[in-house]
Amino acid sequence: MSEFVSMRSVIEASYFIAAILFIFGLKRMSSPVTARGGIIWAGAGMVVATLVTFLYPGMGNYALMMVAIFIGGVLAWVSGKKVAMTNMPQMIALYNGMGGGAAAAIAAVELLGGEEHGLVFGTLAVLGGMIGAVSFSGSLIAFAKLQGLMKSTVRFGGQQLLNLLLLTATVGLAGIIVFQHGDINLVSVFFLLALILGVTMTLPIGGADMPVVISLYNALTGLAVAFEGFVLQNAAMIIAGTVVGAAGTLLTQLMAKAMNRSLANVLFSGFGDEVVGEASDISGSMKPIEAADVGVMMAFADKVLIVPGYGMAVAQAQHKVWELAQLLISRGVDVKFAIHPVAGRMPGHMNVLLAEAGVPYDIIYDQDEINAEFASADVALVIGANDVVNPAARTDPASPIYGMPILNADHAKNVIVIKRGQGVGFSGIENALFFLDQTRMLYGDGQEMASQLIQEVKSI
Amino acid sequence: MIDGFIALYIFMLAAFVGHEIIGRVPSILHTPLMSGSNFVHGIVLVGAMVALGRADTTMELTIGFIGVFLGAGNAVGGYVVTERMLEMFKSSKEKGS
């Protein structure tokens, strides 16, 4: 027995060290200078915690365990290494969903197993399982949407009511399960309901709001992990889960704020509903332009502001755009990149993508820093961005994006929009910017157009 | 045993720590941080390992196996993705300055 006790303290001490490494790792990740070291600290914590768990007293099935770790680990490793930077957000959603699913699986085993947990821990097990299951199926839907596997947003009348009913039924069943331990039918129906709830909750949410939703599910998974940690009496899970739960909640609020929307608004009001018809009293036409003219315009400009959007990243045009910017800079043009807080798919996503292309930090500006400068800019080059430069957000109360802070590209003397075709943006809203007098549309693939512009500027 | 008020204290303090860590973060780090915290809750893996380790029936074994598989995916995938993202920050800083 004393051997068990000392083993126990080795395990507890290792979990303690892991928890410290997680916290300091996250702390380091919150500053650009130390961020790289942060993930390595946290990674070390994870390795320590995982290895020491093999020493847990009273366990078996080691072969099965190692096979599961191997398959899960290798699949995640390969997919994580292979995925393009532009697709990072949905991969985060996917891995987050897996974590939620794991928490739900722990709850399921605990609830089906012989042990009674008592009122408090029984409740925590059930709640953690429910949150984990919702996070699992919800994250998978978010993944499918961002990956483009699921194009449409499913909405129907009474959807909120259905969600409410589902939630009530799930919570009700949860209550029964706490008292009626180990009933396999009840537990199965309970998890099935929670999984369906995650799907129906996520389906009506539009693509533009997905980052906020993923962040929310991230926080929820953290909470689920913490709850299951209480049930298993595992300090590392409690601390890591709670820290992520709290940090994730705050992060979710910050993201929602950057889009000028409340969390409730994101979750319960459809984005880009049928409002479009009401708001599209846009007059004028889109005026096309040739690359040669744009080249001249930019080469002889004093100041060019580049507004990159997700479309640029999809076209893999960031390297060409940076090459173009360097060319202009060498001609004495003042070139700056203007980044909207939610450019790309998440706050900071565009900065990552530009950093990948080698654009230095000191010519990348946040919305607040750059917005006043558009008025003095000769050219605003909008490439692959749409909703974040739509002046309707400022002027049209009927627009679904009304109130969202935008980049004032429409204040520039000339606006050039590089765009694939005449379609609407991610949120499905017509963009008033494209119809302005000083706006010209350069139709084509972002990367191709950037290459053409480089040639045009070079030939001057 | 982590019980009663001790559990509550741990929960409260850990929540406070989480809140403090994110409090003053520049928005450019939001995505990497979300990814990093996504990795950290991959600790669920150890819980799933314990659940599988104690499982007896086929049902429990199956669910436990799925749990460990998912947990390992969360931890490994979260790490790889975060590491790749942060790598970019470093190289750009060096090139930029």
Nearest of A131, A265, A90, A341 to residue B38 by alpha carbon: A90
**Could you tell me if B9 lies within 8 Å of chain A, comparing CB atoms?**
no
Nearest CA distance, B75 vs chain A (angstrom): 8
Please say whether the beta carbons of A431 and A390 come within 8 A: yes
Q: Which of B24, B37, B59, B63 to mutate to test the interface with A (most CBs of A within 10 A)?
A: B37
- The pLDDT value given to residue A3: 60
The β-bridge relationship of strands A439-443 and A414-419 is: parallel
A387: annotated active-site residue: yes
Q: Categorize the per-residue pLDDT at A425 as very low, low, confident or very high, splitting at 50, 70 and 90.
A: low
- The pLDDT value given to residue A352: 78
- C-alpha A208/C-alpha A310 separation (Å) is 11
Q: Within the 275-314 window of chain A, which residues sit less than 8 Å (CB to CB) from chain B?
A: none
Tell whether the model's pLDDT for residue A274 goes beyond 50.
Answer: no
Tell whether the model's pLDDT for residue A448 goes beyond 80.
Answer: yes
pTM above 0.90, yes or no: no
ipTM of the complex: 0.91
Please write the tens of the pLDDT for every residue from A373-383: 999 999 999 99
CB–CB contact A102 B39 (8 Å) = no
How many CB atoms sit inside 10 A of residue A20's CB?
A: 13
Nearest CA distance, A287 vs chain B (angstrom): 34
Q: By mean pLDDT, which of A68-72, A229-233, B24-28 is the weakest?
A: B24-28
Please write the tens of the pLDDT for every residue from A11-61: 999 999 999 999 999 988 888 778 888 999 999 999 999 999 999 888 989
- The pLDDT value given to residue A166: 93
**Residue of B21, B59, B75 lying closest to A112 (CB–CB):** B59
Q: Which of B13, B34, B61 to mutate to test the interface with A (most CBs of A within 10 A)?
A: B34
Q: Categorize the per-residue pLDDT at A279 as very low, low, confident or very high, splitting at 50, 70 and 90.
A: very low
**Could you tell me if B58 lies within 8 Å of chain A, comparing CB atoms?**
no
Please say whether the beta carbons of A134 and B80 come within 8 A: no
Q: Categorize the per-residue pLDDT at B89 as very low, low, confident or very high, splitting at 50, 70 and 90.
A: low
- The pLDDT value given to residue A276: 38
DSSP A73-112: HHHHHHHHHHS-GGGHHHHHHHHHHHHHHHHHHHHHHHHH
**Mean pLDDT over the full length of chain A:** 86
The amino acid sitting at A9 is S
**Residue of B23, B40, B44 lying closest to A243 (CB–CB):** B40
Of residues A451 and B91, which shows the higher confidence score?
A451
Q: Active site residue: A183, A273, A281, A387, which one? A: A387
Strands in A439-443's sheet, in edge-to-edge order, are A364-366, A334-339, A303-308, A379-383, A414-419, A439-443
Please write the tens of the pLDDT for every residue from A130-183: 999 999 999 999 999 888 887 666 677 777 888 899 999 999 999 998 888 778
> What is the average per-residue pLDDT within A67-74?
97
CB–CB contact B44 A241 (8 Å) = yes
3-class state of residue A381 by DSSP:
strand
Tell whether the model's pLDDT for residue A427 goes beyond 80.
Answer: no
Q: Categorize the per-residue pLDDT at A119 as very low, low, confident or very high, splitting at 50, 70 and 90.
A: confident
- The pLDDT value given to residue A240: 95
Q: Within the 73-92 window of chain B, which residues sit less than 8 Å (CB to CB) from chain A?
A: 73-92
Nearest of A456, A409, A452, A423 to residue A286 by alpha carbon: A423
Q: Which of A225, A233, A310 to mutate to test the interface with B (most CBs of B within 10 A)?
A: A225
- The pLDDT value given to residue A282: 60
**Residue of B45, B52, B57 lying closest to A64 (CB–CB):** B52
CB-based burial of residue A158 (10 Å sphere; 0-12 exposed, 13-18 middle, 19+ buried)? Answer: exposed
CB–CB contact B47 A232 (8 Å) = yes
- The pLDDT value given to residue A114: 62
What CATH number does the domain located at A291-459 have?
3.40.50.1220
List the domain boundaries for chain A: 83-268, 291-459
- % of chain A residues with pLDDT over 70: 91
Q: By mean pLDDT, which of A223-227, A324-328, A356-360 is the weakest?
A: A356-360
- C-alpha A175/C-alpha A239 separation (Å) is 26
Please write the tens of the pLDDT for every residue from B2-28: 677 888 899 999 999 998 887 777 767
